[in-house]
Structure 1
Amino acid sequence: MKKNIIKGAAGLVVALTVLVIGCKDEFLEIAPTGTLSRAQLTSAKGLDAALIAAYSQVNGRGGRMSSPSNWVWGSIRGGEHNKGTDPGDFSDINPIQRYEYLPTQGVINGAYSGWYEGVARCNNVLALLADANDDVSDELKTGIEAQAKFLRGHYYFELKKNFDDTPYIDETIDYSTEVTVAEVANDKDLYPFIEADLQFALANLPETQGQVGRVNRTAAAALLGKVLIYQGKYAAALTQFNDVIDNGVTSNGKSVGLVASFPDIFKAENDNHEESIWAYQSAAGTGSVNNANPEFDLNWPYNTGANGPGNCCGFFAPTFELANHYRTDASGLPLFDRAFNLPANEVVTDQDLQSSEPFTEDAGNLDPRIDFTIGRRGIPYLDWQEHPGFDWIRNQANAGPYSPKKYVYYRTDVGTYQDNSSWTPGYAAMNVNIIRFADVLLMAAECEIEVGSMEKAREYVNMVRERAANEASWVTEYDGSGFAANYVIGTYDTPWTDKTVAQKAVRMERKLELAGEGQRFYDLVRWGIAAEDLNAYIAYESKLLINAMGGASFDPKDLLLPIPQGQIDLMGDVLTQNAGY
């Protein structure tokens, strides 16, 4: 500094000389405005604020690609939805839905960076804990550590599911110093680290929390079970799921269970219900739409005006094949082995019909969950109006005839559970369920088939189907003339003795129940049937959406996303690219 000053103008040297003579060195030591000292950050308030920042990143703020809904990575890649809208809008998603991922794609780097931002925030909390002030009790330290490790386990699980092994960075690595290649290479299995974090969380989180958005012991058991089932550790996973089923409580103290009515799962006024094991908390009217669930700001019917929600932008359109999955037989059971795609079983749509042209609605048997999962012509769209079809679809030739329906706000939510303070009214306050009880029941059923009782598995699947059969879950016509479609749903009344038959039933139920919730692609991968299932989906869908899906195919490399090329370049080729890219 002194050498640079001396080389400056003579007047500056004189001025500095006078200043130094007149003042002590401490005069120049002024903390930058808006910063916190380490002593402040290691206080109880400072540690909690750092922990809240780690929670905040769960919704992928700063980029919707790392949001917990996984609407792109789980649902679009899983064949439940397509990008929708127009081919030129957010075109970076086009290669994702066609399984033509590129290492240079911004959406892939956005997901990778968003999840690592979460990891970094958790590591910051854990590093600060090591220097916690004397007034921070051991009990508080343990509680903060358990929450931070739960969240870090979540972020690394998302990285593992999408990229396989990526660099494992914990709170012991000092970012301000040089690190070795061994410390940041992506050659270590992430699962043992994820399990260790979640085991610590399980052992140290309380049964309930003073704030409902904070994770508790039941959430840790559920997430640990999910991590274990992804590794095929069925017996260990079942132990965790049984704990949730038998003893689980939500963080606000409710015994876990199924919400009585399927649509009530997704109503903002019913947030933090008994089925909500872990949810990202959303709110409206707070002064920032980032406190809502901003990852859905594009995923609404298009051109609705005041007669529908969002009014933009037509993304996340349910696929033809997803709708066909909801066809049922005379006893109300699903159709298997892709029989739902046969011409006689396809759900009737208004594809290529203007809204002004006559349309006859589907009259066949349907699982009632179709009409709280998919917006389709002639069926009431929540409490707004009947879906008009073509007029609410931005580009039907590219997207198909359907609109998303889960995580959509009601007309009665406007101004309360919906935020009007930004460019779009499509910021809603319903929570995003990351793990809910039906998900746990169906994973437990999967484990029972592998290492337990197929009859127990049938019981769990029937519990989910019985809830769907509750007529309070069914859409009625606005004029009170009856149900909006021919809903026929039944349970599996014949004992399961064939493992293959039981597996098909559980896998089908996961799609029917959890469609649009970001699960499907990961399920297909862990079951080892992704290529078979998705190529069959492409073959069917590409005949109907030639421009969007024609010529697409799913290859073995598509099981994983590529490591972003920008990250490889930034780290000087330390990272190993996934095979095939």
Structure 2
Amino acid sequence: MKTLFKFKKMTVALMATLMVGVSCSDEFLEVLPTGSLADAQVGTKDGIEGLLIGTYAALNGTDGNRFEGPNHWVTGSIMGGDANKGTDAGDYGDINPIQRYETSATSGDLNQLWQARFEGVSRANAVLAAIAASEELSTSDAAILAGQARMLRGHFYFDLTKHFGDVPVFDETLSAVEIVEVPRSSAWAQIEADFQFAADNLPATMSDAGRVNSWAAKAYLAKALLFQGKFGAAIPIFTDVINNGVTTNGLAYDLLDDYAQIYNAENDNHAEAVMDVESANNSGSTQNANWFDDLNYPYNTGADGPGNCCGFFQPSFSMANSFRTDATGLPLLDGSYNDPANALENDFGLESADAFTPDAGNLDPRIDHSVGRRGIPYLDWIPHPGKAWIRSQPYAGPYSPKKYIYYKSQENSFTDGSSWTRGYATMNYTIIRFADVLLMAAEAEIEAGSLPTAMGYVNRVRARAANSDYWVKTEFGNPAAPDAANYVISEYPASQFADQASARTAVRMERKLELSGEGHRFFDLVRWGVAATELNAYLQYEAQFLQTKFAGASFTAGKSELYPIPQAQIDIQGPDILPQNAGY
């Protein structure tokens, strides 16, 4: 089908606002144009680099709306059952219907997400158009600049497609017309082409942190193939990345020994970072920090905890329960982790002054790197005090997030306290990390029938989690202190990977545990075709505790898998040109 897609005319004069949400290295952040770029400037390598930096900046969002952030804490994690929208019902109430799968096409947040990602596309197209018009670039420079722009454009289209499905696609050849005919069809062909070009033309390493390289492009290409069910095509690419891939600065991809160091600003650009968004503090704008997370720290912590605001992102009951392990250290793959006999002991309904003993049962040690819960040390702050850090337990439950939270020792050095909250931290957000690659590769191998290879990848991830040297202790920073909980974890036996169905169950649970709260869960459930079953069960379970939030909520198969096309965009184009997704 053809559609008319209105696209604002691009010129080579690109405003300095491209630089607002910089998401590259600190060196990039020092390049601050004070006005528009003239045509002659854009034809130079430096001028095109300026346009490219603006494209990198769009990874972090362009308008300051928290739905634009790269971590998808609402559209990926809350909607996937990892977490509840915290705080209370009256604060940021626009999220309330979204978390009940009652999303409206008139949502301003979703419209801003749409606009931000297409802004990223337009910035990438401006770079590519400038490269094509330049008479000064060497062949090598043109290829590397174009490879980065196409890698970023592929990311923006991938993000649009996984949210909205069938989206308009246009490239740099269409960027100078007001109204063009473009196919409103699957963007996958363009996504694959962009990632393939980047893989073929980018070097293996780059001089600046934050820039994409050929290995990141290969990993993303394989991910795009996996999302389409092209498992055979994805496998050799994943294998190459796993066996030979290196980070931008030349570190061989690997799992970090210490799981917690993935989320520590002092350890940014580590061996597990395949593609990330660079962050910076005290750079003149909190937009350069993790502004998209500023609402998500525990509530009302004062000097005893990070941020002091606002509790919007609270791990769910079901997510916390999922970390239960059996006597052998394996997860409860039959889903019985939510049964009363297995559900995690928590302080729901208790005051912080009330007596409480943390759960004594078997647990995956990743729980206490992922979920803040009463009585367990909260990084190097105090032990989580429970209700005192929760704005409304009856609305959002008893837990706090723990990933991508800054440490007490990092206050004012890895945080930007220049705004209304101390919660602007500066650790990189990892769009793709190596554990994710291993688990995606395991999925592909399972579908191809290579079950022993898949088991090896999954157990590699579990073996890292089982390293007791890095389990949370009762006393932060003291390796001789007792473990903070009864951690019991083991690798999967061969019997779990004896057939495809059992192997699928294992790898899907491992993604849930390993990547919890990182924005993947909703999109995983959708591509696996199990979203309706899993998420309706989740709603039913959570509603036992959070009745005012979830009573009567339901996920509608055939509708809720995609977000609605923003009505504001349909109003511009007309419904015949930009039709709404089914069910909205």
Same fold (TM over 0.5): yes
Residue identity in the other structure for 2:81:
G
Residue identity in the other structure for 2:140:
E
Residue 548 of structure 1 and its aligned partner are, at CA, apart by: 1.0
CA contact (8 A) 2:101 2:560 kept: yes
1:342-372 deviation digits (Å, cap 9, x = unpaired):
1010001111111011112110000000001
Task: Find the aligned partners of 2:387 and 2:60 in 1 and give their Cα distance.
Answer: 32
CA contact (8 A) 1:146 1:200 kept: yes
Is 1:560 the counterpart of 2:562? The answer is yes
CA contact (8 A) 1:61 1:290 kept: no
Task: Find the aligned partners of 2:260 and 2:62 in 1 and give their Cα distance.
Answer: 27
Task: Find the aligned partners of 1:167 and 1:450 in 2 and give their Cα distance.
Answer: 31
SS in 1 for 2:216: helix
Residue 261 of structure 1 and its aligned partner are, at CA, apart by: 0.8
Summarize the alignment of residues 490-509 of structure 1 with structure 2, pairs less than 5 Å apart.
490-495=490-495, 496-509=497-510
Q: 1:352 — aligned with what?
A: 349
Highest Rg: 1 or 2? 1
1:481-520 deviation digits (Å, cap 9, x = unpaired):
5111100001112342121111100000000000001001
Task: Find the aligned partners of 1:450 and 1:534 in 2 and give their Cα distance.
Answer: 24
Q: 2:419 — aligned with what?
A: 422
Match of 1:223 among 199, 220, 227: 220
Task: Find the aligned partners of 2:293 and 2:178 in 1 and give their Cα distance.
Answer: 40
Is 1:363 the counterpart of 2:360? The answer is yes
SS in 2 for 1:559: coil
Residue segments in structure 2 that go unaligned for 5+ positions in a row: 1-33
Is 1:74 the counterpart of 2:76? The answer is yes
Task: Find the aligned partners of 2:400 and 2:43 in 1 and give their Cα distance.
Answer: 48
Task: Find the aligned partners of 2:312 and 2:143 in 1 and give their Cα distance.
Answer: 42
CA contact (8 A) 2:81 2:535 kept: yes
SS in 2 for 1:434: strand
CA contact (8 A) 2:204 2:246 kept: yes
CA contact (8 A) 1:75 1:81 kept: yes
1:95-120 deviation digits (Å, cap 9, x = unpaired):
11110010001111111111111001
Match of 1:65 among 64, 67, 70: 67
Summarize the alignment of residues 168-207 of structure 1 with structure 2, pairs less than 5 Å apart.
168-175=169-176, 177-180=177-180, 182-183=181-182, 186=184, 188-207=185-204
1:73-109 deviation digits (Å, cap 9, x = unpaired):
1101100001111111111111111100100011111
Task: Find the aligned partners of 2:282 and 2:178 in 1 and give their Cα distance.
Answer: 45
TM-score computed with the length of structure 2 as normaliser: 0.92
Task: Find the aligned partners of 2:267 and 2:151 in 1 and give their Cα distance.
Answer: 25
Q: CA RMSD in A?
A: 1.2
Match of 2:384 among 372, 383, 387: 387
Task: Find the aligned partners of 2:154 and 2:169 in 1 and give their Cα distance.
Answer: 11
1:235-275 deviation digits (Å, cap 9, x = unpaired):
11111110100110001100001001110111111111111
Is 1:449 the counterpart of 2:446? The answer is yes
CA contact (8 A) 1:289 1:422 kept: yes
Kindly report structure 1 stretches of 4+ aligned residues shifted beyond 4 Å.
none
SS in 1 for 2:527: helix
Summarize the alignment of residues 528-547 of structure 1 with structure 2, pairs less than 5 Å apart.
528-547=529-548
Q: 1:578 — aligned with what?
A: 581
Residue segments in structure 1 that go unaligned for 5+ positions in a row: 1-32
Q: 1:94 — aligned with what?
A: 96
Task: Find the aligned partners of 1:424 and 1:237 in 2 and give their Cα distance.
Answer: 43
Residue 441 of structure 1 and its aligned partner are, at CA, apart by: 0.3
Q: 1:104 — aligned with what?
A: 106
Q: 1:335 — aligned with what?
A: 332
Residue 64 of structure 1 and its aligned partner are, at CA, apart by: 2.1
Residue identity in the other structure for 2:430:
N
Task: Find the aligned partners of 1:516 and 1:152 in 2 and give their Cα distance.
Answer: 25
Residue 473 of structure 1 and its aligned partner are, at CA, apart by: 2.6
Task: Find the aligned partners of 2:58 and 2:482 in 1 and give their Cα distance.
Answer: 44
Is 1:467 the counterpart of 2:470? The answer is no
Task: Find the aligned partners of 1:59 and 1:510 in 2 and give their Cα distance.
Answer: 24
CA contact (8 A) 1:314 1:394 kept: yes
Task: Find the aligned partners of 1:53 and 1:174 in 2 and give their Cα distance.
Answer: 17
CA contact (8 A) 1:354 1:391 kept: yes
Residue identity in the other structure for 1:113:
Q
Task: Find the aligned partners of 2:282 and 2:566 in 1 and give their Cα distance.
Answer: 36
Residue 178 of structure 1 and its aligned partner are, at CA, apart by: 3.9
Give the paired residue count.
544
CA contact (8 A) 2:125 2:175 kept: no
Task: Find the aligned partners of 2:139 and 2:290 in 1 and give their Cα distance.
Answer: 34
Q: 1:132 — aligned with what?
A: 134
CA contact (8 A) 1:39 1:133 kept: no
SS in 2 for 1:300: coil
TM-score computed with the length of structure 1 as normaliser: 0.92
Match of 2:298 among 279, 283, 301: 301
Is 1:485 the counterpart of 2:451? The answer is no
Task: Find the aligned partners of 2:528 and 2:569 in 1 and give their Cα distance.
Answer: 30
